[in-house]
Amino acid sequence: MGKRALLVIDLLHDFMATEGALFCGEEARKIIPVVCARIEEFAATGEPIIFVRDAHAPDDLEFQRFPVHCVRGTPGAELIGEVRRAAANASRVIHLEKTRYSAFYGTNLDAVLQSLAIEEVHVVGVCTNICVLYTVEELCNRDLPTVVYRDGVASFDPEAHAWALQQMETVLGAKIE
Amino acid at 158: P
According to CB under 5 A, which residues from 73 to 132 bind Zn ion?
Answer: none
User: How near is the Cβ of 100 to Zn ion at its closest, in Å?
Assistant: 8
Nearer CB in complex with Zn ion: 47/54: 54
Q: Cβ of residue 170: shortest distance to Zn ion, in angstroms?
A: 27
Question: 5 Cβ partners below 8 Å, 6+ apart?
Answer: 42, 47, 48, 49, 50, 113, 116, 118, 120, 121, 122
Q: Quick one: 99 or 167, whose CB is closer to Zn ion?
A: 99
* Contact letters for Zn ion, residues 5-44 (x by CB under 5 A): ----------------------------------------
Q: Are 154 and 128 in contact (CB under 8 A)?
A: yes
Q: How far is CA 92 from the centre of its chain?
A: 17
Q: Whose CB is nearest to Zn ion?
A: 54
Residue from the set 14, 54, 137, 138 that interacts with Zn ion by CB under 5 A = 54
* Of 25-33, 46-54, 79-87, 135-143: span binding Zn ion (CB under 5 A): 46-54
Q: Using CA atoms, how far apart are residues 86 and 104, in angstroms rounded to an integer?
A: 25
Which among 110, 167, 115, 111 has a CA at the least distance from the CA of 139?
Answer: 110
Chain residues binding Zn ion by CB under 5 A are 54
